[in-house]
């Protein structure tokens, strides 16, 4: 089952604009991660934010986490055509109350950056 | 540094046939994961190995799926017999340690399986 849900499902912007994607999740987490997946390729880890952190930056990426709302956002500033990809959030959550923790991914946001 | 290697990249089979996927993780990575990714969805964990031990196979459909990681390095994932609903991308990932909280997972390019 999917733990995270990204919003929007698809986003189309012009090069140079900022792109914001949101992720909501259901259960308590230790950390939340964002991944990028180019068409036909594997996932690439972008950034990890821990549950006791509220904001984190990496280059043109800014991630926020609001544990009270169980939500996170990924902001990509000054977007480029090469940023075109699907973006997934992933949380490390206990599997249905059992003892197995695993990374659970959302359905992703498809970002298209038009040149 | 070489990344996670998977083969084949694409596989087309008829239903009821067997199929196997191979994964070579990044050298020195102790933890290996197999994920299933359906079209328009995020990856879902099938099985996780720490060295040669399968520590989480709760999501693996054991009636038709099997996996092994002999010697704690390469891994194979097998489906026998394949069904139409198995058409998906099978992703392999590896991480150096065993902590989901701190260890980054590195993904291979995946094997796209089409069952006719």
A residues 1-30 lying closer than 8 A (beta carbon) to B:
2, 4, 30
Query: Could you say which of A42, A90, A100 has the minimum Cβ distance to residue B108?
Result: A42
Per-residue model confidence as pLDDT tens digits over A15-39 = 999 999 999 998 888 889 999 999 8
Minimal-distance CA residue of chain B relative to A38: B109
Please state, rounded to an integer, the average pLDDT across all residues of chain B. Answer: 93
Query: Could you say which of B44, B55, B101 has the minimum Cβ distance to residue A31?
Result: B101
Contact at 8 Å (CB) between A68 and A83? Answer: no
Cα distances from A54 to residues A26, A49, A66, B43, in angstroms, run: 18, 8, 7, 26
Cα distances from B93 to residues A28, A101, B41, in angstroms, run: 24, 16, 17
Q: What is the pLDDT of residue A6?
A: 83
Which H or E element spans position B109?
none
Per-residue model confidence as pLDDT tens digits over A61-94 = 999 999 999 999 999 999 999 999 999 999 987 6
Per-residue model confidence as pLDDT tens digits over B33-57 = 999 999 989 999 999 999 999 998 9
| Per-residue pLDDT at A2 exceeds 70 | no
């Amino acid at each position: 089952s999917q733990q995270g849900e990204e919003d929007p499902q698809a986003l189309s912007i012009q090069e140079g604009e900022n792109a914001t994607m949101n992720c909501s999740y259901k259960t308590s987490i230790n950390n939340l991660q964002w991944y990028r997946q180019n068409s036909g390729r594997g996932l690439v880890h972008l950034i990890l934010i821990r549950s006791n952190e509220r904001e984190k930056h990496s280059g043109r990426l800014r991630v926020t986490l609001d544990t009270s709302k169980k939500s996170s956002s990924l902001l990509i500033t000054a977007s480029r055509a090469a940023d075109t990809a699907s973006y997934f959030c992933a949380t490390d959550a206990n599997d249905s109350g059992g003892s197995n923790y695993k990374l659970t991914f959302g359905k992703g946001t498809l970002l298209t950056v038009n040149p | 540094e070489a990344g996670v290697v998977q083969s084949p990249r694409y596989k087309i089979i008829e239903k009821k046939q067997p199929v196997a996927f191979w994964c070579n993780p990044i050298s020195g990575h102790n933890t290996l994961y197999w994920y299933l990714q359906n079209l328009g969805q995020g990856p879902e964990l099938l099985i996780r190995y720490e060295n040669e031990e399968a520590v989480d196979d709760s999501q693996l459909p054991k009636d038709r799926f099997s996996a092994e990681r002999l010697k704690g390095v390469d891994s194979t994932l097998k489906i026998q017999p394949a069904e139409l609903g198995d058409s998906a991308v099978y992703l392999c990932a590896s991480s150096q340690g065993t902590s989901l909280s701190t260890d980054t997972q590195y993904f291979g390019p995946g094997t796209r399986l089409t069952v006719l």
